[in-house]
Amino acid sequence: MDRRQFLSATPSLGLIPASRAGQPFIGPSNPNAKAAISHSFATVAACLADTMLYYSEGIGRVQIRAGEIVEAQGFRYQVAASVASDQHITTAGGVKLYVVPGDAGFNVLAFGAAGDYSNLTGVGTDDTRPIRAAFKAAMTVGRPVHLPGRQYRITDTLCMPNADYKFSFKVVGDSGNSTRIWFDNAVPKKNMFYSDLNISYVNFEDIELLDRTPGTSRAIQFVGTLSGGPAWKHLFKGVRIVGFQEGARFDGGATIFTDAYQSEVMFLHSKFKNCRKSLIYNNIQAVNHQLIGLDIENDDVADASEKWPMIVFERGSFINHLGGSVIGYGPYVSFTYPGVGGAFQVTAQFASRGIRMEARGDGPFIDHHTASDISVSNAFRLRFADMAVRASRSASPILARFGGRVYARFDNVHSNVPMDVQAYMTTDLGRHSENGKIELNGCRRLNYKRVSDQAAYGSAAVRASDRRAIPAEISMEEEGPAGTVVDGYYQLTADRKTIYSGNWQVAELKTLTWAPSDVSGFGGGSNPATMQVFLPQYARPCKFRLLCDGVNAAAAIVLDLYFVVAGKDVLVASLAPRDGGHFEANIRDPSKTLVIWIADGLDWDGKIKVIKSGSSDSFVGLIMIDYM
């Protein structure tokens, strides 16, 4: 709505066109607009304090009529009718005025805001009332609220109530650093901004919001319920939210059955800093949120001990985070399955791509909270792709932990130090713990690790026979050599393995292969000769195979395969090739404990030995161990 439309608005808005009062019409097409000004003041404060202008004549009074134009500090006002109740400001003499929006919309200074707060002295005018009036005016006619580059102090919630909402509007500052609004509040989790039901298309741009008492207030709360209607398509562009107990919260109804749409919300090139919780999702209908170039940075010393979570899911949503940095001691993503069904729908998902993480503590930095009840909720899906992790701890910090009913996929996630991805082993719980999957694809320096003997996720500490873990598919990549020697055993740096549950499933067969030199082969001049290697941890070996060169035909070579369990060599397969070709033997354990210590993946760390005996001749060919 342009200025002409504003001044010719319907009487229900309380606006009387200046032409009706015998004044020239104020609008962009009238270059002589100043001729319409009936009274001028040097400052807005002088206008508000005026006691000379009155609707009626009298001694010492100057009569003013509805529709006349008043100017103060370069801002223009139209005089409202004396019986109006929707005026924007009122002078000390009782004259009611409507602020005429400029090209940039409603300037809060025109409503009497001072913008004189100093964060160094803690002194400044309370600008709550004028900024609140500007919000109401903007919502009524659909024009922006403009906060020039100053520091403002407010002491109470700025509401965006449904009763005032007639048009979408935006709140615009001059830049993310020069326009600052400080919330001077001592009530825990009191809202700085509150968006009522059925409020949509609200934009905040180039503004910094700060909690004057760090860790006390909530910056913004949006609510959407079926009874009130959806609240969607909000935009935060160049917004910084600093020091709050909660940054932005998206709530639904009292239960998931009364949640309403809060979709298509976007944070663009914005930042949360030192918030105890940055983004909180408590609405299953908060879907298709786009966090583009969003940074979350916690560098307050208290974060080291309190580990502030950044993005928190109290109910499942569908959120995408593309680009940006996350820095701190606490979890980048934290979610908890409550003890009621449906809080995480089958479509609930968090997808992250191109994020740079500074993981400053021990983790976990992606946290399926151990208080979750995995026997009730549906699964949550998480995708992390093209992520660079710079950890400050050298002793295997925890990147992620999961406890069942989770589908988590990591693609091309690289860390500067080894980091664990933990899968908690639980009692059967109706096999809910096996509902899900963890995938590590083309990742670097991430270690899949099972955690047992801890009560978590609704499960008591497990017995060996009750162990259940989330299935996993591991495909790791490393730069440099293909492997290293650890305690005399060769260990591949590029891990390939599958972690299976106790149910029926499709198995993918992998083969650990060693190709000795085609010339010297393996064990030439020695009888016996030993080769030691690590099979990937949690692997389930099934066959021992040889592909022999014909040069071995005359040699009486025997190749034995041993697993090293608790320091003891256990013979599991033996082959005695007598000519060239392919030979294989099933892996068997005479003590019949093979299934137990292979399946649980805890008692055996994957150490194996291949011992050549029977001849000093070398074995030329391929040595292979098939495993799942």
CA angle 74, 78, 79 (to 5 degrees): 125
State the CB neighbour count (10 A cutoff) for residue 506. 6
- Any bridge partners for residue 291, and if so which? 267, 321
Residue showing tokens 């910056």:
219
DSSP classification of residue 434: G
- Helix (H/G/I), strand (E/B), else coil: 193: strand
Which residues lie closer than 8 Å to 124 by C-beta, 6 or more apart? 114, 116, 117, 118, 151, 152, 153, 182
Contact 583, 508 (CB under 8 A): no
* pLDDT attached to residue 564: 87
Q: Which residues contact 244 (CB under 8 A, 6 or more apart)?
A: 183, 192, 209, 211, 214, 215, 216, 217, 218, 219, 275, 276
The structure tokens 């066109």 sit at 17
Q: How many helices (H) and strands (E) does the chain have?
A: 5, 48
The whole-angstrom separation of Cα 388 and Cα 280 is 24
Report all structural domains of the chain as residue ranges with CATH numbers, in order of start: 3-99 (no CATH), 146-499 (2.160.20), 510-627 (2.60.120.380)
Helix (H, G, I), strand (E, B) or coil at 4: helix
CA–CA gap between residue 189 and residue 184 (Å, rounded)? 12
Expressed in angstroms, the distance from the first to the final Cα of the chain is 67
Q: Beta strand pairing status for 287-292 and 318-328?
A: parallel
| pLDDT average per 10 residues of sequence, the chain (628 residues) | 35 35 36 65 96 91 94 96 95 96 96 96 96 94 95 95 82 89 97 87 95 97 78 92 97 84 92 98 91 97 97 94 97 90 82 97 95 83 97 88 91 94 80 78 89 84 68 78 82 76 72 81 90 84 88 79 86 88 85 57 78 90 89
Residues 6+ apart with CB under 8 A from 331: 307, 309, 310, 363, 364, 365, 366, 367
Asked whether the beta carbons of 361 and 307 are under 8 A apart, the reply is yes
Cβ atoms < 10 Å from Cβ of 269 = 15
In this structure, what token pair is assigned to residue 48? 């508000």
* Residue 538 tokens, joined: 């949690």
Secondary structure of 538-570 in the HEC alphabet? CCCEEEEEEEECHHHCCCCCEEEEEEEECCEEE
Q: How many angstroms separate the CA atoms of 511 and 522, rounded?
A: 19
Q: How many CA atoms lie within 13 A of 210 on its CB side?
A: 17
pLDDT recorded at residue 590: 62
Q: Which tokens sit at 517?
A: 């030199």
Question: What whole-number distance in Å separates Cα of residue 209 and Cα of residue 239?
Answer: 8
3-state secondary structure 53-107: EECCCCCCCEECCCCCEEEECCEEEEECCCCCCCCCEECCCCCEEEECCECCEEE
In degrees to the nearest 10, what's the CA dihedral of 84, 86, 91, 93?
20
Nearest to 272 by CA among 246, 235, 307, 290: 246
- State how far the Cα of 577 lies from the Cα of 112, in Å rounded to an integer: 95
Token duo for residue 287: 């879907």
Three-state SS string across 567-625, please? Answer: CEEEEEEEECCCCCEEEEEECCCCCCCHHHHHHCCCCCCCEEEEEEECCCCCECEEEEE
- Residues paired with 563 in a beta bridge: 570, 608
CB count in 10 Å sphere of residue 605:
14
pLDDT for res 556: 85
CA distance 516 to 611: 14
What does the block give as tokens for 400?
């992620």
The H or E element spanning position 130 is helix 128-141
